[in-house]
Amino acid sequence: MKKFFPVYVRVPLIFFIVFALMEYFIDSGDKPAFVKYPMVSLFLFVFLFILIAIEITLSAVNRVMFQLLSPEEKAQKELEESLSFKESTWFKNLMHKLTKTEPIEKEADLLMDHDYDGIKELDNNLPPWWVYLFYICIIFGVIYVVRYDVLGADDQEMELKKEMAQAKIDVEEYMKTAPDLMDEKTVVLLTDAPSLDEGKTIFTTNCAACHRADAGGQIGPNLTDDKWILGGGIKNLFHTITNGGRDGKGMIAWKGTLKPKEIQKVASYILSLQGSNPKDPKEAEGEVWVDDSAPKTDAAAATTKDTTEVKK
């Protein structure tokens, strides 16, 4: 075997197998383990040194042992080392165990009384590799039937359906927190000062030309009153900024210029200006928008009280 795997093949092969196993089992993040952990590099260096030392020692021992052999034993050993791969003793033994072939000299003992147009049949045993594979297939078939038909385990189609359902849930959860995948269904109102300050900067840079710096309205409508042309609230406002206003005369779509997170911030800033009463505002346009999903207050409940109640 050493002839087919010489030392210059064995040593690098064993070393890189150990190296790959360490990289696989040691969690080192985005860096190789031997870079992140110096002890790994030290271990690999020592391992390589020991590996080379073992090979040198074994080579020396083999040379000494060869010198101690008799001339006949030396000739036998040299003959074995000169044999090709298929002629080697261990390969022949392996193939015999796998095939159980009989030598050609015993063919007459295996010959059956069958003759088909000159083709003769031999009573050979089935190759062990084929027999073992046949038994393995039977065992696999029994386990498969018991697992899927008797115990009712999930088949490939059911596993796919479950994985697709779980993937859908995972995507929905990711969409809730992924800023660049936000839409009008998942957007929420921001009220913290840093976000509103960024929203103000975006508004001043991109929106003040049409709505004025105080959002009182110029070419575009007044954004500080309680009336909205396309609906108020963070979701409607996010949709309007993203996709634009009314066809032909409304605001352009900003989805190609602003990121979803930036649209969320500027929409939140605009809503924070509600009731700010700027100087000389533009006349209100649209209709009063009421958030149907918001919980009703006591005052709102009082206004919806049945007016047909009999007064005492």
Whole-angstrom Cα distance, residue 244 to residue 241?
Answer: 5
- Residue range 59-112, pLDDT digits in tens: 899 888 888 888 888 887 777 777 676 767 777 788 778 877 777 777 777 677
Asked if residue 191 lies in contact with residue 253, where contact means CB atoms within 8 angstroms, the answer is no
What is the CATH architecture assignment of 193-278? Answer: Orthogonal Bundle (1.10)
Residue 287 phi, psi dihedral angles, 5° rounding: -125, 155
Q: Which one, of 227, 232, 234, lies nearest residue 185 by Cα?
A: 234
The reported pLDDT for the residue numbered 312 is 36
Question: What is the maximal distance between C-alpha atoms in the chain?
Answer: 133
- Residue range 1-30, pLDDT digits in tens: 455 677 888 889 999 999 999 888 888 877
Domain residues of the chain, as ranges?
7-82, 84-153, 193-278
Residue 124 phi, psi dihedral angles, 5° rounding: -85, 150
List C-alpha distances in Å: 17 to 3, 105, 132: 20, 45, 30
Whole-angstrom Cα distance, residue 139 to residue 149?
Answer: 15
Banded model confidence at residue 309, pLDDT cuts 50, 70, 90: very low
- CA 34 from chain centre, in angstroms, equals 25
Asked if residue 26 lies in contact with residue 18, where contact means CB atoms within 8 angstroms, the answer is no
Asked if residue 144 lies in contact with residue 153, where contact means CB atoms within 8 angstroms, the answer is no
List C-alpha distances in Å: 205 to 73, 100, 135: 94, 86, 76
List C-alpha distances in Å: 123 to 52, 147, 289: 52, 39, 94
pTM of the model: 0.44
- Residue range 221-252, pLDDT digits in tens: 889 888 888 888 899 999 999 888 887 777 88
**Cβ count near 163 (within 10 Å):** 10
β-strand pairing of 119-122 with 111-116: antiparallel
